[in-house]
Amino acid sequence: MPSRETSCPSKPSRVVIKLGTGVLTTGIGQLNMQRIAAICSQVAQLRAQGVEVIIVSSGAVGLGMGALKLPKKPREVCKKQACAAIGQSRLMQIWQEGFNAHGITVAQVLLTHDDLRVRARYLGVKETLKQLIAYDTVPVINENDTVSAAEIKFGDNDTLSAMVSSLVEASHLFIISTAPGLIDMKGTGEIVPVVERITPEIEAMAGGTTSETAVGGMISKISAAKVATKAGCGVFIASGTEENIVPRLLAGKAPGTFFVPSGLKMEAKKRWLAHFQRPHAVLSVDANAVRALLEQGRSLLAVGVTGYEGRFDAGEVVNIAGPDGTTVARGKVSYASEEIPALAGLKSDAMAKLYPQRKRLEVVHRNDLVLV
Ligand code: GLU
């Protein structure tokens, strides 16, 4: 049993609790009703203290597998998607039954990555979640596995929970699974109680996942913690097998790892640019432009552009890479890829001549740009 405890973080106001399949089920497809009841009562405790709660719940695929009596997770995508369709309604039913004891209404929200990548949809989801909280419900979010094909997938609910935490500006994210926290395997062999900054050494402590139903493992939990902490959200990784885990973590009285929120919280639009996109296209820039972006916080001008890879339209989000191919920034580009050969390397006066009607001559304006 781990002995070290997490330190006490700041007061919670809005929290996201992410629950993995392993902690919600006993074996394949059997829900652990006691555990669900325990979590519902923890959520009720938090709400009684005025804390808003959003749940990100896995388990749809696992429950579908159970209903179909499949001993192993199928490899074919359509079979997994079918399992999710079967399991998701059961999952929601169980959550509602669990919360009935506390007079709490749940609300199902199923998302694909596109729902958060496309700005208008992202803003729509944000409004709806706000409204669900205003209606005093507990939103229960999952990936819309049944329709999300590879390109529009979050892939795992750790990533989804981090994006949701950033979206709703949660004060805390709890990633609750059967893992007791981040273990320092090479060093003490114990749980790391507090991580001030996610360094390569911290990332190296994470290993992959092995169980039949689990998806992400510690690697995806750490990268989720990275996204959420940059949104100013404190992140706990702890085990749901511990009694009353969430309130005890908040009181600094339970084992687990706490990731300190970044002091410099990125503004919402920059977070969306940095973490909600998976750009395929690349805009190549010269060394002077890299310096102007990294050291001076400037916009990207045509003079520094040297080329591009992949097609893009004006208004799309692209990666910006230096001469050695390393991505240094990400931003919303004001010109389409077809225009790049003509404008690459042009000074501002030449740009003004080429585009006499355009108000914005920056290729990527600094307000639409984030360093990565
Ligand atoms: N969305 C998947 C499910 O409900 C789980 C993904 C995950 O646990 O990361 O089964």
High-pLDDT (> 90) share of the chain, %: 74
Atom of ligand 1 nearest to the CA of 63: 10
CATH topology of domain 279-371: 2.30.130
Domain borders along the chain are 10-270, 279-371
Angle at 308 between CA 320 and CA 362, to 5 degrees: 60
217-236 pLDDT, tens digit each: 888 999 999 999 999 999 99
Is the CB–ligand 1 distance for residue 62 below 6 Å?
yes
Atom of ligand 1 nearest to the CA of 159: 9
**SS3 state of residue 338:** helix
Task: Please state the pTM of the whole predicted model.
Answer: 0.84
Which residue's alpha carbon is nearest to atom 2 within ligand 1? Answer: 58
- Exposure on the CB side of residue 229, measured as CA atoms within 13 A: 23
What pLDDT sits at residue 323? 97
Lowest mean pLDDT: which of 76-85, 183-192, 363-372? 183-192
Highest mean pLDDT among 16-20, 21-25, 201-205: 16-20
Is the CB–ligand 1 distance for residue 58 below 6 Å?
yes
Residues 21 and 62 sit within 8 Å (Cβ to Cβ): yes
Number of C-beta neighbours around residue 221 at 10 A: 28
Is the CB–ligand 1 distance for residue 60 below 6 Å?
yes
Pocket test for ligand 1, best of 156, 219, 223 (most atoms within 8 A of CB): 156
56-92 pLDDT, tens digit each: 999 999 999 999 999 898 999 999 999 999 999 999 9
6 band by pLDDT with thresholds 50, 70 and 90:
low
List the structure tokens of 36.
Answer: 């669900």
**Distance of CA 116 from the midpoint of ligand 1 (Å):** 17
**Distance of CA 126 from the midpoint of ligand 1 (Å):** 21
- Return all residues near 29 (Cβ < 8 A) that are at least 6 apart: 62, 63, 64, 65, 66, 67, 69, 87
11 band by pLDDT with thresholds 50, 70 and 90:
confident
Which residue's alpha carbon is nearest to atom 5 within ligand 1? Answer: 58
The CATH number for 10-270, chosen from 3.40.1440.10, 3.40.50.450, 3.20.20.70, 3.40.1160.10, is 3.40.1160.10
2 band by pLDDT with thresholds 50, 70 and 90:
very low
d(C-alpha 334, C-alpha 281), whole Å: 14
Residues 270 and 210 sit within 8 Å (Cβ to Cβ): no
